[in-house]
Amino acid sequence: MPGGFRIGRIFGIEIDINWSWIFIFLLVTFDLAVGVFPALHPEWSPLLNWGLGIAASLLFFSSVLAHEIAHSLVARSRGLPVDRIVLFIFGGVSNIEREPASAGTEFLMAIVGPLTSIVLGVFFLFLGVASAGGFQAILLAPGEILAGLSPLSTLLLWLGPINILLGLFNLLPGFPLDGGRVFRSIIWAITNDLKRATRYASWVGQGFGWLFVAIGIAMVFGIAVPFFGASLIGGFWLIFIGWFLASIASQGYEQVVIEDVLKDVSVSQIMRTRYPSVSPQISVNQLVNEHIMGTEERTFPVMEGKQLLGIVSLDDVRKVTRDRWQEVKVEEIMTSRDELKVVGPKDGAVEALRIIAAEDINQLPVVEDSRLIGIISRRDIILWLQLRSEGKEVSVSFYIFLNLPSSFYNF
């Protein structure tokens, strides 16, 4: 995957890790191994602190993954395809290929994630208390019990509250957090208008985002904020989270507006029927000098007569060393027809857009009866939106970065 790597599949869903996740994994582990565990148990060795810190981080992010799997399984049970789950710096995100069809479906999909985190938290907390001697023992001699906790009890008593807090935080009514989606589903059910419900949920989400930014700024300047305290690093982290939440909330509304603009538009209305193509027999040198240089085109259909054989792009050229350009042919570096994502002329433009965004590609061949009849590109769709979206409350300048699948974020 771009910007990360794949670790496997669960229930047929690809599990990916973004490189940014490594930073937060190391940060959590460091905080536990250097700050939390030594403060509770100064007698523990550094090796034990670091080992337990790594175990706690892995179990915590496994809990985050369970949260996202819960979203995905409910989505699939309601007929919504789920292609992958990504763990990244803010936790996890389930990439669901389209918006739910009803308010009830969205409510179920959204609520199950926080409930999973809370149930896991209660489970870990119960095990931790039981391993420490039970509630009665802790209440009678809390200082003695906490000081004498075993590594397993300490681990469980950290995992319990942190999962409960994770579930409660995600219930905040700030779109696109789970609570924001619950809020949107309620407004959607009342108004029967997804666009209006998304606008209201987006406003609340942006409000929470900028509130976090304000709290973070106060913390950076040493102002002790109730519950958050005063911490330079914590303040900058909260500013970062708030900015991200506000940005995603705004883009979530724009996504719905974009789909509204494109909802009745077919691929045939946007596709280009005139496009430059190349022969599979020309050399990479010819491709570069006769087709790429001096034009704005970076991707070309590889044709033999009217049959599409594949696609060749500038990225394919970069895989060939300059001294081999003359000897290597286009057919040797192209992406073959069997590996390509294609659409038909009657398919919806929204579906083409989802494929372009999900596959991180710039254009799609339009095929009918095994013949290439056109090309629909990211640029073509952006131009259509720019021409048609006047008065539709949408800015398409961000669109090149937009990932259209409906995403359930978990912090």
pTM: 0.73
Of the candidate ranges 60-69, 97-106, 278-287, the one whose mean pLDDT is the lowest: 97-106
68 is catalytic: yes
- C-alpha torsion angle, residues 4, 8, 11, 15 (rounded to 10): -10
Query: What is the model's pLDDT at position 49?
Result: 92
Going 368 to 369 to 372 to 378, the CA torsion angle's sign is positive
Query: What is the model's pLDDT at position 182?
Result: 93
Of the candidate ranges 104-108, 342-346, 357-361, 366-370, the one whose mean pLDDT is the lowest: 357-361
Higher-pLDDT residue of 124, 256: 124
CA gap 407, 411 in Å, rounded: 13
Q: Judge whether 410 and 68 are in contact, CB under 8 Å.
A: yes
- C-alpha torsion angle, residues 307, 313, 316, 322 (rounded to 10): 110
Q: Judge whether 167 and 115 are in contact, CB under 8 Å.
A: yes
Edge-to-edge strand ranges of the sheet holding 91-96: 4-10, 13-18, 82-88, 91-96, 406-410
pLDDT tens digits, residue range 345-354? 898 888 888 8
Query: What is the model's pLDDT at position 141?
Result: 43
Query: What is the model's pLDDT at position 186?
Result: 94
Tokens 């965004």 correspond to 357
Pick the closest to residue 302 from 294, 313, 292 (CA basis): 313
Of the candidate ranges 106-120, 136-150, 174-188, 354-368, the one whose mean pLDDT is the lowest: 136-150
| Structural tokens at position 76 | 């699939």
Of the candidate ranges 21-30, 78-87, 225-234, 345-354, the one whose mean pLDDT is the lowest: 225-234
Query: What is the model's pLDDT at position 401?
Result: 37
Amino acid in position 283: S
Does position 176 have pLDDT exceeding 80, yes or no? no
- What is the average per-residue pLDDT within 257-268? 83
Query: What is the model's pLDDT at position 405?
Result: 44
Domain(s) labelled CATH 3.10.580.10 in the chain stretch across 267-401
Residue 101's pLDDT band, with cuts at 50, 70 and 90, is confident
Catalytic residue among 14, 43, 68, 368: 68
Task: Name 177's bridge partners.
Answer: 409
Query: What is the model's pLDDT at position 273?
Result: 86
- Please, what is the end-to-end C-alpha distance for the chain in angstroms? 21
Task: Name 311's bridge partners.
Answer: 301, 335
CA gap 32, 302 in Å, rounded: 55
From residue 111, alpha-carbon distances to 160, 196, 209 in Å are 19, 21, 20
Does position 140 have pLDDT exceeding 80, yes or no? no
Q: What percent of the chain has pLDDT over 70?
A: 88
Amino acid in position 131: S
- What is the average per-residue pLDDT within 360-364? 80
Query: What is the model's pLDDT at position 229?
Result: 65
φ, ψ of residue 84 to 5 degrees: the values are -165, 165
Which secondary-structure segment (H or E) carries 295? none
Burial code (b: 16+ CB inside 10 Å, e: under 16) for 62-73 equals ebbbbbbbbbbb
Q: Judge whether 406 and 98 are in contact, CB under 8 Å.
A: yes
From residue 303, alpha-carbon distances to 86, 275, 278, 279 in Å are 36, 11, 6, 6
DSSP 270-294: H-BS----B-TTSBHHHIIIIIITT
Query: What is the model's pLDDT at position 190?
Result: 94
CA angle 150, 153, 159 (to 5 degrees): 140
Orientation angle between helical segments 232-262 and 349-359, nearest 10 degrees: 150
From residue 193, alpha-carbon distances to 262, 350, 404, 408 in Å are 17, 19, 20, 20
Task: Name 17's bridge partners.
Answer: 5, 87
**Number of Cβ atoms within 10 Å of the Cβ of 286:** 17
Residues with Cβ within 8 Å of residue 163, at least 6 apart in sequence: 60, 63, 117, 118, 120, 121, 124
Q: Tell me yes or no: is domain 267-401 CATH 3.10.580.10.
A: yes
Does position 300 have pLDDT exceeding 80, yes or no? yes
Q: Judge whether 37 and 63 are in contact, CB under 8 Å.
A: no
